[in-house]
Amino acid sequence: MPAIQPCELPEGALLHKYRDSGAYTDCYVTEVAWPVSQAEYVEAFYTTTVFKLERQLLTWFASRPSTDIEAGQLAAGALSSFAAWSVEGQTSHQLLLCDFAGRTRSWLMAVPVEDADPCDRTRLYFGSAVVPMTSAGSGKKTLGFAFRSLLGFHKLYSRVLLHAAKARLARQRPKVR
């Protein structure tokens, strides 16, 4: 599998309810050649250098500070909120977060690759949802000008975040001798 690929939401994804309700959703996937737990993936994702920059911006501009320790607690299921997000849904293989404004969702899932020995490879997913808002002028549901104009950046940034998490997991992987 190439490094990071867009894909359809897998069966059972917690983001399906947003896709089915007409929200914008996306999904990206990559694989690693070793076992990774959901908790390891979530902690790695939220503690990458790239995401730490986003966390810093949230501290400065939204007064929503967070730490690496809190990222680990979120990954372990011990926190119900982290930085600008609250936990909306969680299973043994998935985490769905809602932003403080209720407009966006972030979703992570780590699962063993089905056609391989479960200890051999893990598939890592990252997706988002943007919930449309009702336009005051027309009364129609819209994603809004700001989101539409930033969609290209959002797609690139999603790939960068997943790539950074994969690289962090690779650096943390115990060396096999």
User: Could you read off the pLDDT of 102-115 as tens digits, one per residue?
Assistant: 999 999 999 999 77
Can you tell me the mean pLDDT for 42-63?
95
Q: What are the CB-based long-range contacts (under 8 Å, 24+) for 86-92?
A: 88/14, 89/14, 91/14, 92/38
Rounded to the nearest integer, the mean pLDDT of the chain is 91
Q: pLDDT band for 176, please (50, 70, 90 cuts).
A: low
Can you tell me the mean pLDDT for 123-138?
88
Domains and CATH numbers, the chain: 5-172 (3.30.530)
CA–CA distance, 49 with 64 (Å, rounded to integer) = 18
For 94, list phi and psi in degrees, rounded to 5: -140, 155
What confidence score (pLDDT) does residue 140 get? Answer: 80
What confidence score (pLDDT) does residue 114 get? Answer: 78
The CA-atom distances, in angstroms, between 124 and each of 9, 59, 60 are: 12, 27, 30
User: Could you read off the pLDDT of 5-15 as tens digits, one per residue?
Assistant: 999 999 999 99
CA–CA distance, 92 with 163 (Å, rounded to integer) = 22
Q: Tokens standing for 86?
A: 């609250």
User: Could you read off the pLDDT of 60-85 as tens digits, one per residue?
Assistant: 999 999 999 999 999 999 999 999 99
What confidence score (pLDDT) does residue 99 get? Answer: 95
Is the pLDDT higher at 88 or at 152? 88
User: Could you read off the pLDDT of 135-175 as tens digits, one per residue?
Assistant: 777 778 877 787 888 888 999 999 999 999 999 999 988 66
Let me know: does 28 contact 154? Beta carbons within 8 Å: no
